[in-house]
């Protein structure tokens, strides 16, 4: 293989990975842990739609829907609790993997599919994205002397090359705490572009977006690229396409990009706090009622996995985007 910049390598590896056999054998995401996750997000979408003044029609968009579990759970809760939202909405899914599109079609047959947000009609919308941005390619820069080197992949090994002039402008650093020699900074251009295009839509149309993913609240230095294969950490650079490659989401960079593009950003709020505010544990309790002891315990354990700080409750965060000046969305109250 010729030398590839890290983001180009990651794009190629993940495209092969998500197009391959069922990727979800290798990792477990929140919607696959508990049905309550998608239900709560569906109700968030409904409450948000009501807050927007019930625009009709409205698009319920999901980016990176995986097996379609989140959307199927969300739609079931919406039909039950807010039937007028169910009647007003059209489902649009942003998914590049043909394999996963086919899986999604079995769960949500009347959806429309898109390669990117660009082809989604210009209509009021509520957008959900869970563990979507962490799968988008990152570039990595390494502090060398007074400048930055960039990481490339050559035959499964990282190699540093001088970063292109001007790129330092895109790399955040705090003037009060200059990066140490060897410090690593990550940049996901596709994640920033996605958030910018959502924000530009929000500047033109009523709408809201809810992004859930893992990463620190504030910008940090460090290498967060990781690979999972068969549920275990793997070498991210070996055998592209056989492991799921992800990286921390840079929430502060995304919030700044959204605001610069004319939207408002709310949060990030730790996932556990967000889900608890929206009634995760009450819903889980209700679901556990009239079940066998074993089943009830499993339902409550799954809810704890999503919400407890030492499990997914703290590392995962929720970030909401709305039009500038719109009301604070549910779960993001100070």
Interface contacts to ligand SAH, rule CB under 6 A:
14, 18, 29-32, 64-66, 70, 94-97, 100, 130-132, 135-136
The least distance separating ligand SAH from the CB of residue 127, rounded to whole angstroms, comes to 12
Instruction: Please identify, using beta-carbon distances, which residue of 14 and 34 lies nearer to ligand SAH.
Output: 14
Residue 74's CB is within 10 A of a number of other CB atoms, namely 28
The least distance separating ligand SAH from the CB of residue 62, rounded to whole angstroms, comes to 7
Tokens found for residue 209: 């977006």
> Nearest-5° angle of CA 43, CA 38, CA 198?
75
The least distance separating ligand SAH from the CB of residue 152, rounded to whole angstroms, comes to 21
Tokens found for residue 92: 């649009």
The least distance separating ligand SAH from the CB of residue 6, rounded to whole angstroms, comes to 16
Q: Give the Cα separation of 90 and 68 in Å (integer).
A: 15
The DSSP bridge pattern shows strands 58-63 and 89-94 to be: parallel
Instruction: Please identify, using beta-carbon distances, which residue of 34 and 97 lies nearer to ligand SAH.
Output: 97
Residue 164's CB is within 10 A of a number of other CB atoms, namely 9
Q: Is the dihedral of CA 113, 118, 124, 127 positive or negative?
A: positive
Instruction: Please identify, using beta-carbon distances, which residue of 89 and 120 lies nearer to ligand SAH.
Output: 120
Q: Give the Cα separation of 191 and 252 in Å (integer).
A: 12
For 169, phi and psi rounded to 5 degrees?
Answer: -65, -30
Instruction: Please identify, using beta-carbon distances, which residue of 29 and 285 lies nearer to ligand SAH.
Output: 29
Q: Are 120 and 59 in contact (CB under 8 A)?
A: yes
Instruction: Please identify, using beta-carbon distances, which residue of 10 and 78 lies nearer to ligand SAH.
Output: 10
Instruction: Please identify, using beta-carbon distances, which residue of 30 and 48 lies nearer to ligand SAH.
Output: 30
Tokens found for residue 86: 């169910």
The least distance separating ligand SAH from the CB of residue 134, rounded to whole angstroms, comes to 8
The least distance separating ligand SAH from the CB of residue 135, rounded to whole angstroms, comes to 4
């Amino acid at each position: 293989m010729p030398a590839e910049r890290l983001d180009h390598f990651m794009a190629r590896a993940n495209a092969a990975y998500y197009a391959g056999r069922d990727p979800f054998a290798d990792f477990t995401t929140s919607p696959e842990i508990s049905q309550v996750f998608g239900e709560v997000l569906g109700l968030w979408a409904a409450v948000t739609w009501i807050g927007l003044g019930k625009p009709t029609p409205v698009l319920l968009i999901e980016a990176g829907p995986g097996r379609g579990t989140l959307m199927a759970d969300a739609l079931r809760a919406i039909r039950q609790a807010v039937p007028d939202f169910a009647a007003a909405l059209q489902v649009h899914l942003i998914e590049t993997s043909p394999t996963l599109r086919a899986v999604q079609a079995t769960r949500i047959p009347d959806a429309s599919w898109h390669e990117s947000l660009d082809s989604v009609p210009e209509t009021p919308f509520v957008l959900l994205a869970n563990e979507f941005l962490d799968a988008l390619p990152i570039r990595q820069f390494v502090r060398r002397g007074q400048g930055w080197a960039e990481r490339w992949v050559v035959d499964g090994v990282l190699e540093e090359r001088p970063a292109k002039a001007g790129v330092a402008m895109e790399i955040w650093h705090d003037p009060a705490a200059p990066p140490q020699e060897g410090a690593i900074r990550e940049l996901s251009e596709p994640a920033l572009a996605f958030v910018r295009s959502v924000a530009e839509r929000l500047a033109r149309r009523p709408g809201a977006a809810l992004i859930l993913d893992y990463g620190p609240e504030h910008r940090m230095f460090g290498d967060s690229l990781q690979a999972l294969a068969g549920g275990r950490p793997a070498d991210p650079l070996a055998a592209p396409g056989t492991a799921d490659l992800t990286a921390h989401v840079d929430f502060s960079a995304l919030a700044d990009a959204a605001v610069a593009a004319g939207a408002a950003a709310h949060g990030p709020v730790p996932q556990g706090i967000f889900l608890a505010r929206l009634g995760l544990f009450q819903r889980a309790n209700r679901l556990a009622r009239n079940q066998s002891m074993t089943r009830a315990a499993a339902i409550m354990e799954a809810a704890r996995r999503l919400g407890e700080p030492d499990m997914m409750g703290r590392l995962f965060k929720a970030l909401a985007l709305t039009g500038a000046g719109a009301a604070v969305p549910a779960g993001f109250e100070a």
